[in-house]
Amino acid sequence: MNALAEVSCMERSYEMSRNELENIIDFLESEDVASMNQSELERAIQEKGFELMRQLLQEHIRNRGPGTCDAPVQGEDGVKRSRLQLHERQIETIFGTIFANRAGYGHEGCESLHPLDAELNLPEERYSLELRRRVAEEAARSSFDETVETIQKTTAGHVPKRQVEELVIRAARDFDDFYRQRHQAAVAAPVSGSVLAMSVDGKGVVMRPEDLRQQTRKAAENRTHKMDKRLSKGEKKNAKRMSTVAAVYTTVPVIRQPEDIIGNGLCGSQRAGPEHKRVWASIEKPPEQVIADMFEEAGARDPCNEKTWVALVDGNATQIRILQHMAKEKKQELTIVVDIIHVIEYLWSAGRVFYPQGGQALENWVNHRLGEILKGKAGYVAGGMRRSATKRHLDAQTRKPVDKCAGYLLNHRPYLRYDRYLAQGLPIATGVIEGACRHLVKDRMEVTGARWSLTGAEAILLLRALRASRDFEEYWHFHEAREYERTHRSKYADGIVPNTSKPNAPPKKKRAHLRQIK
């Protein structure tokens, strides 16, 4: 664009937008619109409103000029770019497609630099950061196909499915750095309860064969089925990769008695709810790394080590081993608690062996043994149910649930000291992590027929974690700042992007004011 054309554009500042607004008003005053119902009116105005906003944005970008610089434009390679050319690019926005004609500073053999792109913080690809935010939020909620459809319905932008998947992966790339900088920031921790709870669990996700872990992939390749179209009893598809789900929160200690648990249930009024809960999941990182991240999050919440640390698990031996190793390495006193819900499930399975008809007798049997376990007598309960099975001369297959329950109680006895936990007011159930497994993983990843790539599944899990922890808005500001660093600032000498020159704005036209005639 030459200087004369630029002045001409400035003289017509927002003229096309004003014309578009007049067209909308003419449309609303037409006879055809007078017969529209409310829904038809809203849809019509939204469609025309998007075009008006697109035109406003387009004219604003044009009026800012091409972004020429008075100071030399020098790249991070030390080369000064003195050759100036105008380069046009498309930008897909939430209002539709606009064009930017901006100054490019180049030198032979060097990448051209566009200071206006840096001023606007434009991504390298055509999709604006605001459109990318909409895509990331929607893809975290629903399938990629539904995301494409929703973006088309709620914005004037267009993003094909493959680009949606790519943008989601880019949107989640700063997840770890975001929480790392939050941990390092000298920000006072919010007032919270004296119990610092951590919890970890696993949840499988159906993957594409190439993204399965090596052992699972080999099992899938070597599997043979008895039937062609269905799995026989005990057969597995070997198509899942295990994600590790973590949660950290604080809570107020509530001292309880075993009778409180049996009488009111785990969700009774005496239970203290979680505070400042953060949940997340990773399918890419090994469990050791996720648990290490969990300790880092907990440490940031209790830098002076004033709280009581407790870890809630479902009895997984690997998770317990990693927790113990991590606590020892960090010299952190940690109480590991096996979830009481899993214990109760084992008790019900064992009880049905003695009372297959169910009813009140079965419930009484379970409640009595649960009460003993809550008093710290898990070993006593395990021995008692085994003796009962032996006295009844039950065969090995019939008594299998009893032996399984007894084995579970004996193997996890060091983590079933519920009498101590209740006296200290500690939580004894893993409801928070169970809910996280369902919300973060199951509700989104188990879409019918879905086969996930490793990078795509990881990105969706991280974005869902940000939303579940109510950190998405803060994260997105951080992400946009990091995009600026990567895409623009890193390309200039000393990280300094030169200021662009602004064209002289035309004098504002005086608007006519209506006078009231008395």
Considering only CA atoms, which of 238, 242, 235, 240 is closest in space to residue 318? 242
Angle at 160 between CA 52 and CA 170, to 5 degrees: 100
Residues 6 or more apart from 118 whose CB is under 8 A from it?
484, 487, 488, 489, 492, 497
Global pTM reads 0.87
Quick one: which of 223, 200, 343 has its CA closest to 282?
Answer: 200
344 half-sphere exposure, CB direction, 13 A CA radius: 15
Tokens of 144: 């990629």
Beta-bridge mates of residue 83: 106
Report d(CA 35, CA 308) in Å as an integer: 68
pLDDT of residue 309: 97
Q: Angle 472-487/175-184 helices, nearest 10 degrees?
A: 110
Residue 308's closest CA among 198, 213, 223?
198
Query: Which amino acid is residue 193, in one-letter code?
Result: G
Q: What is the pLDDT along the chain (518 residues), one digit of tens a residue?
A: 443 344 445 446 799 999 999 999 999 999 989 999 999 999 999 999 999 999 999 999 999 999 999 989 999 999 999 999 999 999 999 999 999 999 999 999 999 999 999 999 999 999 999 999 999 999 999 999 999 999 999 999 999 999 999 999 999 999 999 999 999 886 666 778 999 999 999 999 999 988 887 776 666 666 655 555 554 555 455 589 999 999 999 999 999 999 888 866 555 445 678 999 999 999 999 999 999 999 999 999 999 999 999 999 999 999 999 999 999 999 999 999 999 999 999 999 999 999 999 899 999 999 999 999 999 999 999 999 999 999 999 999 999 999 999 999 999 999 999 999 999 999 999 999 999 999 999 999 988 778 999 999 999 999 999 999 999 999 999 999 999 999 999 999 999 999 998 877 666 666 555 555 55
Residue with tokens 């081993």: 321
